[in-house]
Structure formats: C-alpha cells, structure tokens
Amino acid sequence: MKIQTAFLYLATVCVCGGCTPDKDDPFFDECGGKAPGGLINLAISEEDDIKMGLSVVNQIESNPAEFPVMDSIQYKEAYGHIYRIRDMVLNSGKVYYKNKFPWRIRLIRDDKTLNAFCTPGGYIYVYTGIIKYLDNETQLAGVMGHEIAHADRRHSANQMLKQYGLTVLISILTGAEPGLLEQLAVNLLLLKYSRSDETEADDYSVRYLYPTDYDPRGAKFFFEKLSASGGTSIPEFLSTHPNPDNRVANIEKMWSCLGSKTGGQLFETRYQQFKNSLP
C-alpha cells in the first residue's frame, strides 16, 4: 500500500510537471514531440522493458512450428537488407532509446501472415508475408518505424502496468511471482494497443523517417495500399484499428506540421532485391 501511495504521489508530480513542454528537450518539436516520460518511468526501468522483451523472445524462439524464425547466417543477404532499413530508422537521431535497447531484428518465414511487431525493449520481428506484400522499401520503413515507436514510447510496458498493477508487475519482474513471467510473455504476444498508442506510433514513424533518405510518409503509402485492396488484407497487427484512411490523414497532418519535406525516395529497385533474397 505504501508503494502504491508513493507511486500515485510521484505520478501526480510527473503529470503536472509534464504539462508544459520543455523546449530544452532535444526531442521536443512544435508538433508535440518530446522525450518519453510519464507514469511508466517512475515504476518500471528500461532494463525491465528488456526483461519483458526477452520473455517474449523465449516464447517465440522456443516454438519454431508457430514462429519459423529464419537463420541470420543462412539468409545473410536478406538480413543485410532488413538491418539496413532498421539502421536507417535508428540512426535518424529521433529514437530515444536507440543506444539503450538492443533492437535485435529477426525475420519470420510465413508468407501468409501480414505482420510485424516489436516487443518491449526493442526486439523486432518481421514476417516475410508483409515484406512480399509491400512495393518498396519506404513502405516497410514506415511500418518498422511504427513498430519501433511502440517500444521507444514504452506502450507495451504501460499496458502491462495497467493490466497487472504496479505491485504485481514488479513482483513478476523481480521473480517474486514464479512462473508468471511466462504468462506475461503470452499476454504481450496477444497485446492490442489503444487507439492513442497507434496514433502516437504513426506520428513517430513520420518523425523517425523525416531526417532520413526515405519519404517520411512511408506508413501513409502502406495504408493507402491497404485502402486500395478494399480492406481485405488488413494485417493482424492492425486488426483492432482498421481505419487506414483516417490514419493516412493523420500521417499527412504530422508530415505537414514538420515542414512537408519532399525529395524522399522509395528505393523500389533494392527492395525488389530484398524480396528476391527471401525463400
């Protein structure tokens, strides 16, 4: 009870203290950008995010029948392409935990599944299905920026805090509740983000791509492709928020707020090379 009371007090201080944007924050921008903060930073450390992420990694990579992860040595060329895209996003200077999370990425060989996700702590998984579905590298960079944003903005950790409560979540992460870390991993795999989390991830995908050679609206082109398909190919990771037209408008709004940068590239030729390197 004392822990919870102290947490609520600190949370109130944090929320009130965060009402006015800090323009000295290097991640501040006039479009609402700022360094991650809020309640989660008071309760759960970045190391705890990594621990939660590793619990998911263990679940995935101990089940090759459901998650056929491609070997990074056997498919060296394909991994070279996905590493390049990841690094372009991470090196934008806009990913807050760029040097704190591992950002390990793995390809899952499943052409029927249009999916990509990033666990807490920055463990990224991309299905071959979504890679083959998309038309150019910038579309995939937009999707990956969106997924990286979920980890970078600590959305999963926030959701777990709401689901378990502070005391129980700390007990799980410290091992005081044996066996529950595996259940936590299962819940993270089944996690559905809130509408506000999805909107923020879209916004930050634009921010991440803006300083790069990609068109910052990579995620927009992805949603436009979904709209053109008549919604029949909505990926699993968007199944709770199937409104690509609204998300296109939001992405355009963020791009315009940041300055309407033009000249970004799609990299269609090398994306085809990436597709050709897949089994």
Annotated catalytic residues are 147
User: In which order are the strands placed within the sheet that holds 104-108?
Assistant: 104-108, 123-127, 116-118
- Cα–Cα distance for residue pair 181/54, rounded to 1 Å: 10
DSSP state of 15: H
Q: Taking the mean position of all CA atoms in its chain, how far away is CA 188?
A: 13
37: left (phi over 0), alpha (psi -120 to 50) or beta: beta
Rg of the chain on CA atoms, in Å? 19
DSSP letter for each residue of 42-81: HH--HHHHHHHHHHHHHHHHT-TTTS-BPPTTTTHHHHHH
Q: Which 3 state secondary structure label does DSSP give 265?
A: strand
Whether 102 contacts 50, CB under 8 Å: yes
Tokens at residue 108, please?
Answer: 């899952």
Q: Percentage helix, strand, coil, to 5, in the chain?
A: 55, 5, 40
DSSP letter for each residue of 92-128: TS--TTTTTS--EEEEE--TT---EEE-TTSEEEEEH
Name, in order, each residue with C-beta under 8 angstroms of 249's C-beta and a sequence gap of 6 or more: none
